[in-house]
Structure formats: structure tokens, C-alpha cells
Amino acid sequence: MSTSPADSVSIDDEKDATGPSFADLGIDDRVLRAIADVGYESPSPIQAATIPPLIAGSDVVGLAQTGTGKTAAFAIPVLMGLEVSGKSPRALVLAPTRELAIQVAEAFERYSTHMPELHVLPIYGGQNYAVQLSGLRRGAQVVVGTPGRVIDHLERGTLDLTQLQYLVLDEADEMLKMGFQDDVERILRDTPDTKQVALFSATMPSAIRKISKQYLKNPVEITVKTKTSTNINITQRYVQVSYQRKLDALTRILEVESFEAIIIFVRTKQATEELAEKLRARGYSAAAINGDIVQAQRERTIGQLKSGALDILVATDVAARGLDVERISHVVNYDIPHDTESYVHRIGRTGRAGRSGEALLFVAPRERRLLDAIERATRQPLTEMQLPSVDDVNAQRVAKFGDNITENLSAANLGLFRKLIEDYEREHNIPLVDIAAALAIGSYDGDKFFMEPDPEPVERPRREKGERGRNTFEGDRPRREGPSTHRATGENMATYRIAVGKRHKVAPGAIVGAIANEGGLRRSDFGHISIRPDHSLVELPADLSSETLDALRRTRISGQLIQLQLDSGPPGMRPMNRGPRRDTRDGKPRYERRQPRA
């Protein structure tokens, strides 16, 4: 961290293992305990930079997006410094929307659980005045409001700001965009000169600069400088999903995506444990690592991940620092990271040792701006991914069922069971197919074999102001072909067949990596990739030169010659999209699986 003479702080992009802890920031015990209850392990960059100057009494201007942890960055020092005796507001937070006001009020509640005498009140347009009036009469030391409604109360004489110690402007640029500039300036003017002001904004237009110059006293300016280089061998996708649907979304992805090992990032220690537990309950070999886990246990868990005894690791940023496991084919950002730098560190856990990797980012509707920031900072667009539908998941289950049979047909002790079943058939005179179905029931729960279509009504995705429409995964609905960085399917493209598939544990990233390297192709040369049980189909330019074709025939993935050749699917059908068919190339019936959408 460096402080220039102009009181401006920028946070360096090297966030190594030795960042400050919350205690290092000088936070008092009551608030520290609340933070521990919530499960935050270490301060986010904006928190580390903002909390100390706010505790020291300085005004602060923070350039920060939603999702960076800025709420705690101002709530923590405010809670530490405000006078809780008395009923009149000591802290006022202005927020552009009612949703944000409620959210900020809830955050204050969370961080003040060990301050029972403290009351927090959200006031916003659209809510009954009577509720707000009785809240104000009862007394609230922290008021979080939208500017218009705060002005209403000031004019009615129902809000007394004469005792104000702290004024926070949250998402100041949004407030100005929404036409609240006069209201905001009026509140800045009509509150005590002695108050401390914190202004947070995602951008710094000249109007905000002006406000900062006019109303703040020598503010410390805080900007998070971001590390911007992401590894080019990592394919980055994002999926819009509401908070409530994340687990469902994750399990669908795990069902259809072909992966070797995955690391899933969440924000808190509790979340690592909870998610790992839920994944184990769904049959995955998953474990949690977080800052509370002792070193020996951490090493054991990582050893298991390396050896293949474990496939999924659920981790916090701190716990996953420096993790270097070649098997990690996917990084899932289950909770969006606070800053682009963390994003870059996280996705760098895959694509190790020259391999390629897949990075998935879950984006809740409110977090769109953080996604934009990630794309801007890394200068790489993320491809939107449509979540696998119930049909995709079920097709995959059928495919795996078939795979299982095919695999077991080559088992060494088939003879023993053949004899037992022949005896049973003779004794009971039951058709063989019924006996086979009865055995399958023993290994699968017939009632739950297929995923049920989602019964919930389809919510409309919320759109943020001025944002182009995008699909949010809120339930099962017809799929839209998402905007894609791929070349348009079919446009001078052809489907090639390669001799590696699910059986060889290949991930799409490995296929792209190997073919791109050996064939001198670019990422944009790839269309759909469909990984089938024993082979894969890859869309590539139709006009590959004979040298490239030669090189690709000799390329190996997972030690296997890929023998790339044009795929000769049935005429008139695109091989990628046909439903289950019987493939008798090797004389055995095979199910084809529907491809996970790449």
C-alpha cells in the first residue's frame, strides 16, 4: 500500500499471504466478534484501505463497486465511533435505491449483533410513513435512506440530523444519475460541519469530484488498483443466477460438465463447510478448506485432491492462495470475488503446468457491475453460459447409466453374476430385462432418477437501469442462444471427431489447449465441443490445411492419440444436436449424450 502526499491511497495488485487481519485494522472487540460470527476471514482490499482512515477520523472517497465489501468498509468504523446513547440519528447513509437501503441496513444489523442498544432504521420511498415515523420516534442511531425520502422527513420535521456524526454517500454516482444531486447537496449542507463524510462511488465523474471538493475535508482517496493479466489458456464463462438458485445451478453444471477436479470459491468460512456438506450429500467427493483449518489438515486435503481421492474443493480466497494442483480443470466463482485482482488469482488455480482450464463465474443480478469491471480490467470478455436444462441433465443421467453398463460388461467377475442370474431366471421364470431393471433399482433410486422440471413460477429477470436485457437463470425456461465469442456455428465450420472422450477424462479446456497448440489455431476458431463417452466432436474451420490436419492426427490428449478426422454424421442432421442414437462402430450399443453447452 502506498500513500502519496495528496492523501490518496491505492492498493497494490500484489495481494500476498500477508494481508492485514481485521484485528490489525484496529477494530474493537464488539465488532470483531460480529465479523467472526458472519464468517469473514480477512478484510477485502477496500476494507483494509478504508477502515483505518475512517477510524482515525478522516473523510474518505472510495472508488468501489458493489460486491467489493464496501458496505462493511464504512459500517465497521461508523459502528465503532458512534454514540449509542440517545435516540437521535448519529449516522446517516444515503443510498440510491430502496433495495440498497434495505441491504445496507441489514449489513449494519449484522455487524452490530454485539451492540444490543443500537437501532438501525431504513427509510425509503414507497414505504408507509407511519412505520418510519414510529421507528424514528422510538429512536435509531443509524438511519439508511434514499435521498428523496430523507428530504421529506427533514421538511416534515420528523428527522433530526443535528447530532449527526457520520454521513455516508453510497453509490454516489448512481444517486446523481437518478437526479438526487440537489437533495444530496442539501443534506451535505444542512448537517453539522463536524460530521465525518465517506463517499463511495463506482466512477468519478466531475460532479462527484465537485461534491468531494466542496463538502469533504481533505478526504483520503482510495482506489483499488487491479492486476489485469489473466492466463490466455483459461476459458472464461459466466452465468447469471439469482442467489437462491446458485446451488441448483452448480449441481446442474456438475452433472453435465466434464471435469477432472474443481475448486469452488465462496466468501466465508461457513459457506465453505456448508457447500462442501451439501455437495457430499449429493454424492460428490468434496471438502472445504478455509483459514480455520489447521495446516496439517489443509495439506492432507490438498494431497487428496492431487491424488484424485477428492474431486471438489470448496475454498475461501485466503485458503486457496498459492494452490498448485494440475488436476484442477475448473474454477467456479460461486460467490463473485470482491475485486478483479482476486478474480485473477482465483482463476489462476486452473490452467496449471501449461494445461488449459475453465473458469465459471456466478453473477447475481445486483453484481452485473462487478462483472463489467472484471471484463474491463482483464480486457477479456466473458462468454455467457446458459445453464443446463432439466432435459440436458436427464440426458446426461441416461448417458451415464448406459456408460456404467458398458463399463461393467468388461468386469472380471461377470461370469459369476451371469450364472447367478441364469439360475434365478430358471427358478422364477422372470424375463431377463425385468431382472436387470430390478438390479438397477438396487443402485439407483428409480423415483429420483430423472430431475423434475422446476415447479416454481418463472420470475422475470430483474434488469438494472439502462442495462440491456440478459437472461438470468431463475428457473427452467426455453433457452436462448447466448451471445458467444465462438464463431457462428455452421459458418465455414465442420465437425471433427477425435478419439478421446469422457472415458479418457478429457475436459473441453484440454481439447482446446491441445488442438490450438498443435494445430496453430486460435480460440476463436473453435465452435461447439461435445464430449461423448468414448470420443468427442469438435467444431473447427472447414478449411484446415493438410499440414494442420496431419499435425492434429498425431496429437495426443491424456496420452491418447486423438486421430482427428471429419465426422460423418447422418446426412441432413448436425451431428452435435441429434438426440440419443445407437452407435455400432465397435459393435456395442452406446448412448450419446447431449453436450454440455460450452
Chain residues binding ligand AMP by CB under 6 A are 40, 43-44, 47, 66-72, 267-268
Q: With respect to ligand AMP, which residue has the nearer C-beta, 203 or 408?
A: 203
* Residue with smaller CB distance to ligand AMP, 93 or 562: 93
Question: Cα–chain-centroid distance for residue 478?
Answer: 23
Minimum distance from residue 125 beta carbon to ligand AMP (Å) = 21
Radius of gyration of the chain from its Cα atoms, rounded to whole angstroms:
28
Beta bridge partners of 494: 540
Minimum Å gap between C-beta 502 and ligand AMP is: 36
Shortest CB 103 distance to ligand AMP, Å: 7
CB of 104 to ligand AMP, least distance (A): 8
Three-class DSSP category at 168: strand
Q: Which of 97, 95, 96 is nearest to 108 (CA)?
A: 95
Please identify, using beta-carbon distances, which residue of 289 and 393 lies nearer to ligand AMP.
289
DSSP 448: G
Order across the sheet with 565-566: list the strands.
529-531, 536-541, 493-498, 565-566
* Angstrom distance (rounded) from CA 130 to CA 111: 27
* Choice between 69 and 541, CB closer to ligand AMP: 69
**Pairing mode of beta strands 60-63, 220-224:** parallel
Nearer of residues 242 and 258 to ligand AMP, judged by Cβ: 242
Q: How far is the CB of 256 from ligand AMP (least distance, A)?
A: 28
Residue 62 or 348: which CB sits closer to ligand AMP?
62
H or E element, residue 360:
strand 357-363
Q: How far apart, in Å, are the Cα atoms of 489 and each of 50, 135, 574, 592?
A: 48, 59, 10, 20
Q: Which is nearer to ligand AMP, 68 or 555 (CB)?
A: 68
Phi/psi of residue 440, nearest 5 degrees: -65, -40
- In the chain, the N- to C-terminal Cα span, in Å, equals 40
In the complex, least distance from residue 66 CB atom to ligand AMP, rounded to whole angstroms: 5
> Which is nearer to ligand AMP, 71 or 201 (by Cβ)?
71
For 349-370, b where at least 16 C-beta lie within 10 A, e where not — what string?
A: bbbbeebbbbbbbbbbbbbbbb
Nearest approach, Cβ of 172 to ligand AMP (angstroms)? 14
- Of all helices (H) and strands (E), which one includes residue 370? helix 368-378
Q: Which residues of 181-213 are buried (b: 16+ CB within 10 A; e: fewer)?
A: bebbbebbeebeeebbbbbbbbebeeebeebbe
Minimum CB separation of residue 249 from ligand AMP in Å reads: 18
Question: Between residues 47 and 396, which has the closer beta carbon with respect to ligand AMP?
Answer: 47
Q: Based on CB atoms, which residue is closest to ligand AMP, 224 or 564?
A: 224
Measured distance CA(234)–CA(355) in Å, rounded = 9
Candidates 597, 547, 539, 174; CA nearest to 389 is 597
In the complex, the smallest distance separating the C-beta of residue 138 from ligand AMP, rounded to whole angstroms, is 27
**In the complex, what is the shortest distance from the CB of residue 342 to ligand AMP, in angstroms, rounded to a whole number?**
10
